[in-house]
Structure 1
Amino acid sequence: MVIWGLNFAVAKYGLREFSPMLLMSLRFAMVAVMLLPFVAVPWGRMKEILVLSVLLGGLHFPLMFTGLTRVDAAAASIAIQLQVPFSSILAAILYKDKLGWRRGLGMAISFGGVIVIAGEPRALDGSWYLGLVVVAALIFSIVNIQIRRIGSINGFSLNAWMSVMAAPQLIAVSLLMETGQIEQIRAASWLGWGSIAYMAIMVTIVSYALWYPLVRRYPVNQTMPWTLLVPVFGVLSGVLLLGEPLTPAMVVGGSLTLVGVAVIMIRKAPKQNQNQSAT
């Protein structure tokens, strides 16, 4: 959670020197180069990994980092927590999971918190970009479902082959939508390259290698509450590293979002999940 929380501020440094799609393509290319020589080919899972690469590399990260170009790291780290109510909605649609009034109330509170942040004068200019972060949260809730569908697979192998598939997608999008890629690469400072290295090594390799097995092994209501720490570290890193203001609207909206997310996640586990976790 510390790694993910710091990622928002670190990414802002990278976005000062690279356009969003180029930044992401370089990130996934670095991951592929570092991991591919050391992992096996996950035969029989390539189709599912391709779908994951489109969801993460082709949709989630481009939306997220395009939003970050005009949204404070603190606000983005809070808004991305809407993945939790989105996950509950998808579970109700796909698996007929009963929402109940408590989770319904939690959803309303969490969405209300983001609305408070979006209504702040500072955020109004970038409300469209904050919307992109919200859509990225929706995509990430679908990503978690896809990870469970892939089943048991080595986390390094999954990251390596997902990156192999995601990098060309992002390069193509960058060439279509952005300009000056060569100039950006030549002019980049150590901060820009350091940002990419942090995202490739710490965020993509280290943190996801830890997260994927947890998502598959434990019930969602045991793993997801830990993500409440992400916006805490995200806000702190934005304030301390980037000098972003901690406004009353940010405090109120962030608190509402986290309370709503907590109401959704922190509940008694179903009996079958308790039995599964015991084994």
Structure 2
Amino acid sequence: MPLRDILLALLVCVAWAGNFLGSATALQEMPPLLFTALRLMLLVVLLAPFLRRPGPGQWPRLLAITLCTGVMHFGLSFWALKLAGDLSSPSIVMQSYIPFSVLLAWAFLGERFAWRTGAAISLSFGGVLVLGFDPLVLDNPASLGLMLASGFFLAISTVLMRGLGGVTRYSLQAWIALVGVSPLLGLSLWLEPGAIGRLGGVSGTAWAGVAYAAIVASVLGHGIYYSLVQRHAVAKVMPWLLLTPVFATGLGIAFWGDRPGPKLLVGGAMTLAGILLISLRSQAKARTAPVAEEL
């Protein structure tokens, strides 16, 4: 890619990595389900002009995608981030949705993959297992499980998106936000009693985290990403986007007090290396690689 587009890809990585720090800061004052609902509410306002009716027969698939992404993926990922004692492990484990997507496409769509892709899948999940034994992660094991579950639901959405027609990416984001708000608010009222009533005492820093997640990470980050994949093959853009967890780890060390140990660093390197190999081999077979989604 030309230097300008490489710099734009790096800007996307910075925007998405910063979302881990900004969201973790906001989650110190807000519970995760309510935070997610507020983010989606702001996205509904911002993306309402892009809402378009899906094509005939697409409603069931669209609703499944919106629930898997907006409610399950986002809700679980922010819950995991709140429980985590660091930014490094959640940002790495979130990428597990890519090998999950390959396995689901094999199981339900009949897509085959060669032994090299299978080895890359094993490498990526082996990396998650290794980093799971890092003391930083062992202090909050539930966070690792929740983020894996979040990645699994995002993988379901990724596979379902392959059969979705007549919906643009911004329109899809708008539908995810619109459909996801009500279930998340209901879950928050049930599982986070009194959280809405405490919003009056939330600081401006926490509200800035909500705004960052919606405006910078979703609208700006995805907007630049879509422009890049319109000009270049996903295989050219994807390797740069895998720098997102690297940047998030750096922000965690600089601003969050992260002190990743050898297991986390080795496991993280294994996970990202496996995911990179999966993405490149998917493109070599002329298939669209899974889209790298931010938190």
Task: Please report the TM-score for the alignment, with normalisation by the length of structure 1.
Answer: 0.87
Partner of 2:17: 5
Partner of 2:272: 258
Q: Distance in 1 between matches of 2:92 and 2:203?
A: 29
Q: Distance in 1 between matches of 2:153 and 2:230?
A: 18
Shift of 1:215: 7.3
Shift of 1:243: 2.0
Are 1:248 and 2:259 counterparts?
A: no
Aligned length: 273
Q: Distance in 2 between matches of 1:212 and 1:269?
A: 17
C-alpha distance after superposition, 1:106-128 (max 9, x if no partner): 11111111111111222112112
C-alpha distance after superposition, 1:118-172 (max 9, x if no partner): 1122211211221110111111112222333223433333322321111111001
Shift of 1:214: 7.0
Identity of aligned residues (%): 32
Shift of 1:19: 0.2
Task: Please report the TM-score for the alignment, with normalisation by the length of structure 2.
Answer: 0.83
Partner of 1:69: 82
Matches within 5 A, 1:111-190: 111-190=125-204
Structure 1's 223 and 51: CA in aligned 2 closer, same or farther, altered over 3 A? farther
Partner of 2:114: 100
Q: Distance in 2 between matches of 1:219 and 1:273?
A: 11
Shift of 1:6: 1.8
Partner of 1:21: 33
Matches within 5 A, 1:40-55: 40-44=51-55, 46-55=59-68
Q: Distance in 1 between matches of 2:282 and 2:145?
A: 32
C-alpha distance after superposition, 1:13-64 (max 9, x if no partner): 111010000001111111112332x335325355443222201111001111
Partner of 1:34: 46
Partner of 1:277: none
Shift of 1:74: 0.8
Q: Distance in 1 between matches of 2:250 and 2:32?
A: 23
1:147 corresponds to which letter in structure 2?
A: M
> Which of 56, 59, 83 is the equivalent residue of 2:69?
56
Are 1:229 and 2:243 counterparts?
A: yes
State whether residues 53 and 162 of structure 1, in contact with CA within 8 Å, keep that contact through their aligned partners in structure 2.
yes
Structure 2 spans left out of the alignment, 5+ residues: 1-12, 289-295
1:6 corresponds to which letter in structure 2?
A: G
Structure 1's 51 and 222: CA in aligned 2 closer, same or farther, altered over 3 A? farther
Higher helix fraction (1 or 2): 1
C-alpha distance after superposition, 1:163-215 (max 9, x if no partner): 11111110011011112223431111111000000111122222334556877
Structure 1's 148 and 70: CA in aligned 2 closer, same or farther, altered over 3 A? same
Q: Distance in 2 between matches of 1:46 and 1:97?
A: 24
